[in-house]
Amino acid sequence: MCLSTPQVRYFLAAAREGNLTRAARSCGVRQPTISQSLKELEAALGGALFRRAHHGVALTPLGRAVRPHLAAIARAAVKAGQTAQAFCGASKGRGMGDGAALAIVTGGDRAGVAG
């Protein structure tokens, strides 16, 4: 099984927003990108993560079960980026500045790391 950082970020945004269009907007991508990524994530995890309806999406029992684990992955990715930024800054005498490591790791969606 292979999970990507964008898949995790898109899952958390969709869970938070309850709507794929709003999730896409908050992630700075188009709605088809979110939909395809979530389908791939569902295939990797072996089941539906969302109940889809005309008005939005809601987490399935599987989605509710994996949400804290995916949120932990997102938090760990942020910490890895912060560690790398601190290490690079210390070893080279300068950091990346302006939250660049955070943007690389999370796509700039800090709200997506909340569990």
Q: Where are the domains of the chain?
A: 5-107
| Residue 113, amino acid | V
- Is residue 74 within 8 Å of 112, Cβ to Cβ? yes
What is the pLDDT, as a whole number, of residue 92?
A: 60
What is the pLDDT, as a whole number, of residue 107?
A: 44
| CATH no. for 5-107 | 1.10.10.10
Place 104 in a pLDDT band, splitting at 50, 70 and 90: very low
* pTM tops 0.85, yes or no: no
| Chain segment 14-25, per-residue pLDDT in tens | 999 999 999 999
User: Which carries the bigger pLDDT value, residue 40 or residue 102?
Assistant: 40
